[in-house]
Amino acid sequence: MLSAEHRSASGTGPLPLELANTESGPYLRLAPNASELASRDPLPEQILAFLGQSSEPRTTESIRSSLQVRNQRLVECLRQLFEQRKVVRLPQGYVLASPTLSVTTESTSSRVAPR
């Protein structure tokens, strides 16, 4: 999987590559089902998996550093996951939402929006 990002331009998304071998030598090419795979952003699943492996709340910076993504893209994705009620923002950071964890009105206010 190849991912390229630039600070002032939106990313094209990950591109699935495969190693092709011909008589002239090996080279990389787009995988045959590239359009299907490129249209699906893997970042939300990566964030959920990362938070699922953590025993404590994780800050935006620690998530960004571990997943090696741009801060803007990460914050947008965290907001989407928050709106879908898949993650909860605590003062210490983000955790996976669970049925036993109650979401207070403070956590839904704009004061605690992703930073």
pLDDT band, very low/low/confident/very high, at 42 (cuts 50, 70, 90): confident
> Of 100, 103, 66, 105, whose CA–CA distance to 81 is shortest?
103
In this structure, what are the phi and psi dihedrals at residue 53, rounded to the nearest 5 degrees? Answer: -85, -10
Question: pLDDT tens-digit profile of 82-103?
Answer: 999 999 999 999 999 986 654 4
